[in-house]
Structures are given as C-alpha cells and as structure tokens.
Amino acid sequence: MNSDHLIIAKKRFTSRLIVGTGKYKSMEECSKAIKISGAKIVTVAVRRVNIQDKSKPLLMDYINPKKITYLPNTAGCFTSEEALRTLRLARNIGGWKLVKLEVLGEKKNLFPDMIETLRSTEILSKEGFKVMVYCNDDPLMAKRLENAGASAIMPLAAPIGSGLGIQNKVNIKIIRKQTKLPLIIDAGLGESSDASIAMEIGCDGVLVNTAIAKAKKPFLMAEAMKFAVIAGRKSYLAGRIKKNFLGSSSSPKFGLI
C-alpha cells in the first residue's frame, strides 16, 4: 500500500481523502481536523475563504500550502463566466492550475449545470488548467468531460451537504469502467461507511466536507473517514468474493469424523 498513491494530473498524493475547508466553527478546528484526517489536498472556496486580505486571518496561517495542496474551487458560481473568472483569479493570486470546477444550476439542491460545466471545462483545459470537475452521475456526460480535457471526474453521491450517501452505485460503476481518469466521489457523504463503499466500488478517492465539519465530534469523524478510505481501498484491491444466493461451507467436506 505504500506505493498505492492517488495520482491526479501527474501529481502523486499519499492520501485518497480530500477534505473541504468550509463550515467549521473556526480555522483552528478546520486545521486540526485536516491534520487528523491525513488529507494531502484541501478544497478552498476562492469566493468565500480569505486567501489574500492580510488584515484578516488567512487560511495559509492555519494550513501550510507547502505541505498540503490547495485545490481552489468555484463554490457559489452559477454561470460559466463566474467560474472562469474565479479560477483565473486563483491562478493570479497563487499560481494554482490544479483546480476544482463546479457550476451550479440552482440554489435549492445545488445540482451541477452540466451544460455550463462542460463549456467551462473545455475553456479551462485550453488555458492550461488541470480541471477536476464536479458533475452529476451521468456516464455519458462524464465521458464528454473526459473528452473535453478534464483531469478528474467528480460525480456527486447525493446533493451537497445532504449526508445521504451514494444513491446510484450502478452509474458510478459504469463511469469507473469507461474512464481511466481519477474518479472521486464529491458531495453527499454522511458517515465513514459511505466513504468505504465509494472506495470498494472502485473510486480513486472521496471528497468530504460537511460530514466532518458538522459532525458532533469533527475530529473523531475526520479520523473515521481516514481509516474508512484506507479500508475501502484495501478491500477493492483484495477483490471481493462473488455473490451467491446459495450457502458454501467454510470447512472441508472430506475427512469428517
């Protein structure tokens, strides 16, 4: 397992758990939870998290960007133009080219607007960005994103922050079979078993924010998610037994007393 790393846009990461930086009670709590989780990538909402106003607490003061990769995202963007402007700003501020794109369609369920998302992916890829794309769990659209130059496919498990867990394992498995890109579950996980299931069906990683930040004990949940991802990955690599509706004896059928 020491060499079984997550690789995105030719960059190698020792953890398959990606953690968000929003919704925590404080930056101190956020920093500690991320440390406990072992995550090597954290998402940063460029429009919401302070990364440039030095008169206020900076995220960099709590999470060292030299040790943990910042993944700027476009949370809160509802048009392609907003998303493009946000990520270009992130590149100008910190030189970030590995980014997470999300273009939302409406404010109630926060589902992605896939037309705007696909358009944005094409533009950003041509501009040299390495785009990790938040999307719905549609295998056809996932393939179009891959063809448009995406660096990772990030289908939702369920609506953002819902905690419902993976609602459509079949589509996720189809996406897994048809793409060689990193496949990362993004949004909707609620507990550690959700993370394990994602890994067991072949996902390369999971992104978790609300499930940790809003847990009654965030630090304990961060640790649970860490080990769930590891366990799920090991289970996937081990290769599960085939499902069978008939019983199969564990003990030998010969040499009986």
pLDDT on residue 47: 66
Beta strands in 140-232 (DSSP E): 152-155, 184-186, 205-208
What pLDDT is stored for residue 253 in this prediction?
64
Which residues, given as ranges, of the chain have pLDDT below 50?
A: none
pLDDT of residue 175: 96
Phi/psi zone of residue 35: left (φ > 0), alpha (ψ -120 to 50 degrees), beta?
Answer: alpha
Q: How many helices (H) and strands (E) does the chain have?
A: 8, 10
pLDDT of residue 93: 81
Domain residue limits, the chain: 6-238
**pLDDT number for residue 13:** 95
The catalytic position among 40, 54, 97, 100 is 100
- The reported pLDDT for the residue numbered 250 is 73
User: What are the distances in angstroms from CA 96 to CA 54, 69, 99, 156, 212?
Assistant: 19, 10, 7, 24, 25
Question: What is the pTM (predicted TM-score) of this model?
Answer: 0.87
Q: What is the pLDDT of residues 166-196, one digit of tens each?
A: 999 999 999 999 999 999 999 999 999 999 9
Output the pLDDT for position 95: 85
pLDDT at 51: 63
> Which option is the CATH number for 6-238: 3.60.10.10, 2.40.30.160, 3.20.20.70, 3.40.50.300?
3.20.20.70
60, 22, 35: which is closest to 209 by C-alpha?
Answer: 22
**How high is the pLDDT of residue 203?**
96
Contact in structure between 172 and 152 (CB atoms under 8 Å): no
pLDDT of residue 248: 74
Residue 100 annotated among the catalytic residues of the structure:
yes
2 contact partners, CB below 8 Å, separation of at least 6: none
Q: How far apart are CA 175 and CA 139, in angstroms?
A: 5
